[in-house]
Amino acid sequence: MKTRELAVGGALELLPPVYPDERGLFCPLYEDGALDVPFRVRRSALSVNRAGAARGIHYAPDGDAPAKIVHCVAGRALDIVVDVRAGSPTFGRWDTVLLDSDRPRAVYLPAGLGHAFVALTGGTVLSYLLSTVYRPEDERAVALLDPALDLPLPGTRELVMSAADRAAPALAEALDRGLLPRYRTDSTKEDET
């Protein structure tokens, strides 16, 4: 599997091999040991979305943050990775990857990064592989529409967002309030949480 480093420290775009033939294509999306980072799958999830649906910027607190692999199994989405780790050399930096079911690729996020996406077509389905089990009390978010981040969001006025995502604090406010995860240099410890 080929990888491309994103502008956010530790985040990768995953470019798996694709094997097309007259039936369509086959693409191995994840194989244990294929990445240079430890990743143990403890949960799998799907997100089914209408066009314009926006989710995030979601993250989890210290000690409970999952590493993630996200890929698009139907439709198209603009995937967004934001460094929300207090003290990180890339704090506040973001990067995007166009996830498209016609050209399989994925995004790897180490523990502690913020994640968001905007569905660009109706019926967009994102699949998540996560390194921790779900705990609703660990759900956190910073504002997707934070003007200081200036994310390249398509159709900002028409985004369909949850009330919780609309009410999320700006990144600077979350930092001031001590709500953000801390940057760690030991990625093995983060990913095996």
DSSP 138: G
pLDDT value at position 190?
A: 42
Mean pLDDT, range 65-80, rounded to an integer = 95
Is the full-model pTM beyond 0.75?
Answer: yes
CA 62 – CA 65 distance, rounded (Å): 6
Encoded tokens for 18: 């694709």
Give the residue numbers marked as catalytic: 58, 128
Which phi and psi (to 5°) does residue 114 adopt?
Answer: -90, 145
Q: Is the pLDDT assigned to residue 118 strictly greater than 90?
A: yes
Q: What tens digit of pLDDT does each residue of 121-141 get?
A: 999 999 999 999 988 888 899
